[in-house]
Chains A and B, each alone.
Chain A
């Protein structure tokens, strides 16, 4: 065998040996990165969204609305024990954060996991303004049903846990969006505190 071939084989052999030695470490790193993806997402959420708990919070059982496990296209309430504030704005932030972070199963999720509630305002007339990150619009599955369920889950959770909220306005990164994910109209207000959150009002009386 010629000398240059011997050198090439030796280099190749050393490369293979080095790869074998470093492979387990590389594998461990990849697995660690994969497992930390969820933690990173959580950390990102914590950076964007300030801590929601206050010392005055009390542990309460609160009904939160996610997709029903048994009935397709319906929402159902799950009682969750949460530390909740008495201040309605803080309370609403805590409820929506739990709605995003703690669905009973992934299939029952109504809001994308990466969604962040950027701000929540409550006006004296009962108008709640919830300002979400772009993920709400970008990651909600496109469709009338899925978008309606996303909004209804927020409205019904607020309705069940806050008496001060009468209607809901949804903003995306501080701006009014035309639709949630291509279907549901976000230019108006969603009624809160009615049994049928998005029902049309009764027909007006005909003029005499």
Chain B
């Protein structure tokens, strides 16, 4: 029974499930008739990134993560098919793998999505999504995802993941930048999970040299995934702002 003047207290909502990281979806970009960048010595991006994906999967599985590749051979899934693979999973992050045409050879850089203003938004106002967020940086479980802007609620966590990955890349590959960069990478836009792109420089190097980068790339990503997992656990254990 309530005392006079005492307002009924709303029943506390079930807190969102604590985010964790169990699955890493690796996306070797291009494939099929789209071979991506081609080097002067015949290096083909779509083949090199598939090798990277396989090497990274081994390193991730050794650390207890489940790794899923968006393609296992020379198939060419669409952007949306690749996104659909992770959007159907929980506790997962997405890493799309690329090799550049240019840039200092033997270096690697992580990118997180740079949100472009919505076509309908006025030019003077940048898009500023005010959706409630999941502790991982995502949306509440009940919120609907607008497919074309699925990455929007995850920008913070994607940036954090990119930072952690870049720290490792800078250690593994001398000359790599210290910080990740923001870029409007198309593949990332429709991913409803923390998502980054890694671009290795470049197809100007010969194929065997690039392929050798797969193992250290896997090490870097596996360490960063562990660090991200810890960061998620820490964020979940800290009392966050009321939602």
Contact = CB atoms under 8 A, between A and B. Distances in A.
B199 A188 contact: no
27 contacts: A72-B104, A123-B123, A141-B37, A142-B37, A142-B45, A142-B101, A145-B100, A145-B103, A145-B199, A146-B101, A146-B103, A182-B34, A183-B98, A183-B185, A185-B184, A187-B116, A187-B119, A188-B118, A189-B123, A198-B116, A199-B114, A200-B114, A200-B182, A201-B128, A205-B130, A206-B133, A208-B242
Interface in B165-219: 177, 181-187, 189, 197, 199, 201-202
A183 B97 CA distance: 11
Contacts, number: 128
Contacts of A141: 37, 100-102
Given A72-B104, A145-B201, A198 B37 contact: no
Given A185-B116, A185-B189, A73 B123 contact: no
Interface string A33-54: 0000000000000000000000
Interface residues of B, number: 55
A167 B123 contact: yes
B74 to A, nearest CB: 16
Given A142-B101, A206-B243, A200 B112 contact: yes
Contacts of A200: 112-115, 155, 159, 182
Interface residues of A, number: 38
Main secondary structure of the interface of A (DSSP, over half): loop
B34 A188 contact: no
Contact of A184 (B104, B132, B186): B186
A119 interface: no
Contact of A204 (B99, B101, B129, B241): B129
A153 to B, nearest CB: 13
Interface in B87-104: 98-104
Contacts of A126: 123-124
Interface centre among A145, A169, A182, A184 (most CB of B within 10 A): A145
Given A182-B36, A189-B116, A190-B116, A143 B100 contact: yes
A191 B34 CA distance: 29
Interface centre among B113, B182, B186 (most CB of A within 10 A): B186
A31 interface: no
A199 B102 contact: no
B126 A191 contact: yes
Contacts of B197: 144
B80 to A, nearest CB: 11
